């Protein structure tokens, strides 16, 4: 098997917030009937974490399970484990209607850290209420960053993990870097977390 390579070679930018390319990370898209107990059981078993509520993400170290839409989940795991996860899902779900795809190589992952400044960087790019009262750890939000689709969640109280399509990784990194340029502090969230 070939060596996994990050889209941008692990670039970073240090501005009002720190932008770092993370990954490679194992990601598996799983679609099916999210309300079916048998389906939930398999998803929990393969992901190794609890089942997320609507718009929620459950994280445990490098494993995670995120609610992406009413019929779609995203499983996260170490990069090497993605292939086995897809095989396990196919085996355990059997004839139940589902779709499981290893999308690890289709994505780029960025870490945006810096507390309130990290919130500001994303708030400049996404039409999302990022105030500490509205967006907290445990939530996932699919939206757009400027012109491309992204999804993000909080990795901890001060930082965000953001995923986008690998083909637009440079665009997204440049967007984040520009939004995090020195002097770009707005101060809108400073009274928050």
Partner 1 sequence: MLIVECPNCGVMAEETELVPGGEAHLKRFGPESSDADFESYLFQRENPRGVHFERWRHAHGCGKWFHAARCTQTLEVFGTYSAQTTEPPQDIRERVTAKRPGWTWRTLS
By beta-carbon proximity to partner 1, the closer residue of 96 and 134 is: 134
- Reading the block at residue 166, the tokens are 């690998």
Min dist CB 67 to partner 1, Å, is 8
Residue of the chain from 54, 95, 133, 182 that contacts partner 1 (CB under 8 A): 54
Min dist CB 89 to partner 1, Å, is 21
Min dist CB 172 to partner 1, Å, is 14
B/e letters for 132-146, b = 16+ CB within 10 Å, e = fewer, are eeebeeebbbbeebb
Site for partner 1 in 59-88 (CB under 8 A): 68-70, 72
Q: Is residue 127 within 8 Å of residue 135, measured between CB atoms?
A: no
Min dist CB 83 to partner 1, Å, is 26
Closest CA to 56 of 154, 132, 127, 148: 154
- Residue 149 binds partner 1, judged by CB under 8 A: yes
Cβ-based burial of 72 (10 A; exposed 0-12, middle 13-18, buried ≥19): middle
Min dist CB 149 to partner 1, Å, is 5
- Residue 167 binds partner 1, judged by CB under 8 A: no
By beta-carbon proximity to partner 1, the closer residue of 72 and 158 is: 72
Q: Which residues pair with 162 in a beta bridge?
A: 110, 152
Site string for partner 1, 108-147 (x = CB under 8 A): -------------------x-x-----------xxxx---
- Reading the block at residue 179, the tokens are 């939004």
Q: DSSP for 77-116?
A: E-GGGHHHHHHHHHHHHTTSSEEEEE-GGGEEEEEEESTH
By beta-carbon proximity to partner 1, the closer residue of 78 and 138 is: 138
Chain residues in the site for partner 1 (CB under 8 A): 54-55, 68-70, 72, 127, 129, 141-144, 149
């Amino acid at each position: 098997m070939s060596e996994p390579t990050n889209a941008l070679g692990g670039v970073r930018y240090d501005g009002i917030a720190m932008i770092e390319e993370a990954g490679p990370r194992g990601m598996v898209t799983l679609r099916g009937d999210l309300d079916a107990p048998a389906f939930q059981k398999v998803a929990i078993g393969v992901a190794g974490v609890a089942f997320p509520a609507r718009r929620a993400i459950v994280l445990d170290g490098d494993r995670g399970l995120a609610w992406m839409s009413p019929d779609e989940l995203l499983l996260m795991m170490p990069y090497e484990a993605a292939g086995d996860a897809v095989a396990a899902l196919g085996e355990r779900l059997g004839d139940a209607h589902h779709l499981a795809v290893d999308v690890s190589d289709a994505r780029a992952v960025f870490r945006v850290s810096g507390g309130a400044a990290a919130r500001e960087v994303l708030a400049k790019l996404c039409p999302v209420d990022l105030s500490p009262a509205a967006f907290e750890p445990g939530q996932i939000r699919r939206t757009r960053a400027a012109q491309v689709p992204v999804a993000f969640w909080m990795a901890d109280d001060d930082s965000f993990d953001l995923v986008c399509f690998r083909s637009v990784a440079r665009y997204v990194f440049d967007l984040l870097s520009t939004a995090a340029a020195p002097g770009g502090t707005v101060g809108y969230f400073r009274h928050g977390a």
